[in-house]
Structure 1
Amino acid sequence: MEFDLSQTPPMPAFYLLASNAIQPRPIAWVSTQGTDGISNLAPFSFFTIACVAPPVLSLTITWRRSSTGLSPEKDTLRNLRETGECVINIVTEPLAGVMNQSCGDYPPEISEISALGIATVPSTQVTPPGVAASPVRFECRLRQLIPLGDGPGSSHVVLLDVIHVHADDAVLSKDMIDPDKLASIGKLGGDGYTSTETRFSLPRPIIGQ
């Protein structure tokens, strides 16, 4: 089957095509804090490394679905625009359930952290707290917001400068994060998730030898 996107409305067609095909996707569980002092916590699976030098992470925040009755701008985006700070908490298998609960459409005056009883720890260089049980946390400051589109399905690409990284000793080997010790999860299409339990290695080819 072929899909001509010039003839097909991108919502929901492209969303379903992309989110079902581009998988697994890493999950950024993003904690922010508004100018009112209310902390927000929400997961996003449009997330990756943007650059190493300088260290920059990329996060895409789509508009909230209008049917919720809330503002289309998600709390995470509003807080980032107002304060320029966040923490990206890596989600592991034991955190999957509460992470999923935090993606509900809570009103802005309700903190997911408080509502769900999620334990936090103070950050080192930013105001928003980190999730205490997350073994890897990236403290970030906003570099750039790039708006894309207008209306349902539109989004903001968020570029974040990483200024501090916390890594729990339990996931380290030789003073570096060991992927085999980090039981992170990934997002699939629909309501699907996957673990990183099954792994395999392929050495990079050496051309010209």
Structure 2
Amino acid sequence: MVMETIDFRTLSPQDKYKYLSSSVTPRPIALVSTVDGARNVNLSPFSFFNVFSANPPILVFSPLRSIRTNETKHTLDNVHEVREAVVNLVSHDMVEQTSLSSGSYERDVDEFAKSGFTAQASELVTPPRVKEAPVSFECEVKEVVALGNEGGSGNLVICEVKMMHVQKRILKDGLPDPFLLDTVARLGGDWYCRASGDSLFEVEKPIGKSGLGVDSMPESVRNSDVLSGNDLGKLGGIERFPSKLDQKDFLKEYVYAVEEIMNLAEAGKRLRKLHTWAKELIAERKIQEAWSILLWADTLGE
């Protein structure tokens, strides 16, 4: 695998931003509403954003200084004056209006009006929330950490969530459902992605257990030219290999398929066929069955 090496010490701020924003993806979007000391409202999206703590519940977003002029964002100025914010999540049906709200408007311009979003009064904080947002977090700004004073420098706005509003339509079993939430995220340039449909998938988390790991696998499995890294990750999640009896029972159940493979003349083809079969079982989440095939294949010495 050929890699390109990029020395950030030699890059301009513009190029640093391009490489980072095109690589660290996808990034969730915080559509943030704030007010200044005169209670003028500002609304602006930020993709340098995420959740960083559950207890206390902390969200962080980062308004960058302008790379071109070194000016600060109105949002950053506002949270220094009034240490409150509402972080609104952005669904697919909000994305164009959200982009519109990111324009370089003068301080006295109401981005709610410009974007066509509806300002809805918050319960605990002064800034309004976005009525159209599937989820809104009313926050107290605990701290603002400046990461530099030059163009492109970030400012970590550390927000403690005080109240959360969720549209009931996106709830399933009491929690936001990813298919119903339908959020979008930023990529590099003008590109976005959508968390919906075939782009969503589940990966079992090994909570409370320790998998065997890739290092415990037979060499023929670790170095397989059929199995991918994801396949090995799934295989390594089991806590024990199937017993000899389990392997025997599986092979007996699929005796005709096993005989067909063993009748192949070339040993290399037999091993590849067995690993391909195991790969199909892994895709069906039949991990123990896949291991039965792989461990048996390893005993063939091919």
Name the TM-score, length of structure 1 as normaliser. Answer: 0.93
Structure 2's unaligned 5+ residue stretches are: 212-238, 240-302
| Match among 2, 5, 9 for residue 8 of structure 2 | 5
CA distance in 1, matches of 2:159, 2:142: 5
CA distance in 2, matches of 1:66, 1:21: 21
- Residue 63 of structure 2 aligns to a residue whose secondary structure is strand
Which of the pair has more CA radius of gyration? Answer: 2
Deviation at 1:123, TM superposition (A): 0.5
**Residue 87 of structure 1 aligns to which amino acid in structure 2?**
V
Show CA shifts across 1:154-190 (max 9, x none).
Answer: 1211111100000110011122211221010000001
Deviation at 1:114, TM superposition (A): 2.2
CA distance in 2, matches of 1:34, 1:66: 24
Q: Which residue of 1 aligns with 2:34?
A: 32
More helix by share: 2
Show CA shifts across 1:5-52 (max 9, x none).
Answer: 22x134122211111111110000000111222111000000011111
Shifted more, 125-134 versus 34-43: the winner is 34-43
Q: Does 1:77 align with 2:76?
A: yes
Q: Does 1:200 align with 2:201?
A: yes
CA distance in 1, matches of 2:79, 2:63: 11
Which structure would you say has the larger RCO, counting Cα contacts within 8 Å and 6 or more residues apart?
Answer: 1
Q: Which residue of 1 aligns with 2:101?
A: 102
| Number of residue pairs matched by the alignment | 205
Q: Which residue of 2 aligns with 1:22?
A: 24
Note closer, same or farther for the CA distance 1:122–1:115 as it changes in structure 2 (3 Å cut): same
CA distance in 2, matches of 1:65, 1:106: 17
More strand by share: 1
Root-mean-square deviation (CA, aligned residues, Å) is 1.4
Q: Which residue of 2 aligns with 1:171?
A: 170
Q: Which residue of 2 aligns with 1:93?
A: 92
Q: Which residue of 2 aligns with 1:139?
A: 138
- Residue 8 of structure 2 aligns to a residue whose secondary structure is coil
Give % identity.
32
Structure 1's unaligned 5+ residue stretches are: none
- Residue 62 of structure 1 aligns to a residue whose secondary structure is coil
